[in-house]
Structure 1
Amino acid sequence: MKKLMYVLAVSASAIAFQACSGGNKDAKESADSLNMAKDTTTNAMATGGIAVDEADAKFTTQAAVGGMAEVELGKMALEKSTNEQVKEFATMMVKDHGMANTELMAIAKQKNITLPSTVDDEHKKKMEDLSKKSGKDFDKAYVDAMVSGHKSTLKLMEDESRDGKDVDLKAFATKTAPVVQSHLVMINKINDSMK
């Protein structure tokens, strides 16, 4: 019983410390920190232990942030774009990444993985930069962001598909990678047509 109380006290202290020191962390970093604090190696009942290893948890938070950003940037493009191809692509981003986000949230809940509630600082800055643009300048910047974003997302999905330990997250990445690949092909064609 003393050991259980000790574990609970240490866990509570760790969470309190993280809450106090988390002021400079963005949503993704905070979620990653919370996931690291969940520990199944000692006593899952006492700690609310995480059901996946650290690398899989980080994949999940990174994929969640990227998916949220794709949806938000897609909504922005639907409002600001003057290019029909860009609007069509943005509609697909909202739909496809919205569905993937819902699926990922369900897996995360099942695995006790804390997801960020908002995008990280990097994506916030990208959104702010894009919100200041209009017309063809907006379209070009959005397309550039989508090309680089989909390249990194494809690598993220392929890496998890190959190296992931959790069966469900690995299956999610394996299923999502071809969709991201098709998005990348499409946005590259749009990019080429704008030159």
Structure 2
Amino acid sequence: MTRRFALSIATCLLLAACDAPERDPADARAADAANAPMMAAAGDTADQFPASSIDPQIFVDRVGASNSYEIDAARIALERTRSNAIRDFANRMIRDHGSAADKLEAAVKAHGNGVTFRPRLSAQDEADLAALREARDFDGLYLDQQRRAHEKALALLRGYANGKDSGALRSFAAEAAEMVEAHFDAVGELENGAREEAG
């Protein structure tokens, strides 16, 4: 399955969710909690293909965690990689995701309604960073993690951008989705370059 095809499937699923009736945020959180074990058992995660009506606080928490992971992973890359191309990419991640974090914080303030900016890494993010610190094939693992992380982030951002929120968070999501898509494409180019060198 190609990257573009996988992204197309994710986007179609998210757009189809736009017609779903809007749920009360409390009900949405309860449903997410109830469904999480089942989705994890199926090899999925509750935040991989979120509904476009996702609760704003959950959206902010997940995007905040994504930005934090990207910055921390890039800092590890700068310490461990010997590839100039990956080093350039890591510097780009620190710059772009640092800027995205600032824009998200501003969007949260504009949104109001009790939503707070409190970025924290998820347990999976922490595990991924630990794996990077110990990896023998650092570059391969870093690029694999980057591909998966950007694919998940893009699905999240596109889902929210196509949702019913018409305020600052939706504008942020639309803008950030373009950035993340560019990153996703850059990861693909790095992976292709690595395969050519290995071949």
Aligned to 1:75: 75
Higher relative contact order (CA 8 A, sep 6+): 2
Tell me the distance in 2 between the aligned counterparts of 1:160 and 1:188.
24
Aligned to 1:139: 139
Are residues 58 and 164 of structure 1, via their aligned partners in 2, closer, same or farther at CA, if it must alter by over 3 Å?
farther
TM-score normalised to the size of structure 1?
Answer: 0.69
Aligned to 2:49: none
Deviation at 1:54, TM superposition (A): 6.2
Aligned partners of 1:71 and 1:98 also within 8 Å: yes
Tell me the distance in 2 between the aligned counterparts of 1:192 and 1:118.
32
Aligned to 1:171: 171
In structure 1, runs of 5+ residues without a counterpart are 1-31, 37-52
Aligned partners of 2:81 and 2:138 also within 8 Å: yes
The residue type equivalent to 1:127 in the other structure is: L
Tell me the distance in 2 between the aligned counterparts of 1:166 and 1:57.
15
Aligned to 1:120: 122
Deviation at 1:74, TM superposition (A): 0.7
Aligned to 1:87: 87
Aligned partners of 2:61 and 2:119 also within 8 Å: no
Deviation at 1:108, TM superposition (A): 2.1
The residue type equivalent to 1:74 in the other structure is: A
Which has more radius of gyration? 1
Equivalenced residue count is: 144
Deviation at 1:193, TM superposition (A): 1.3
The residue type equivalent to 2:178 in the other structure is: P
Tell me the distance in 2 between the aligned counterparts of 1:117 and 1:154.
18
Aligned to 1:8: none
Aligned to 1:154: 154
Task: String of CA shifts for 1:115-164, please: whole Å, max 9, x gaps.
Answer: 33431111000000110124xx0011000000011111111111111014
Q: Over aligned residues, Cα RMSD in angstroms? A: 2.0
Are residues 79 and 61 of structure 1, via their aligned partners in 2, closer, same or farther at CA, if it must alter by over 3 Å?
same
The residue type equivalent to 2:122 in the other structure is: D
Tell me the distance in 1 between the aligned counterparts of 2:54 and 2:93.
28
In structure 2, runs of 5+ residues without a counterpart are 1-24, 30-52
Tell me the distance in 2 between the aligned counterparts of 1:167 and 1:114.
15
Deviation at 1:113, TM superposition (A): 1.8
Tell me the distance in 2 between the aligned counterparts of 1:125 and 1:175.
29
Aligned partners of 1:107 and 1:168 also within 8 Å: yes
Q: What SS does the corresponding residue of 2:117 show, helix, strand or coil?
A: coil
TM-score normalised to the size of structure 2?
Answer: 0.67
Q: Per residue, is there more helix in 1 or in 2? A: 1
Tell me the distance in 1 between the aligned counterparts of 2:55 and 2:119.
20
Aligned partners of 2:74 and 2:91 also within 8 Å: yes
The residue type equivalent to 1:126 in the other structure is: D
Aligned to 1:25: none
The residue type equivalent to 1:192 in the other structure is: N
Task: String of CA shifts for 1:9-38, please: whole Å, max 9, x gaps.
Answer: xxxxxxxxxxxxxxxxxxxxxxx99xx7xx
Deviation at 1:166, TM superposition (A): 4.4
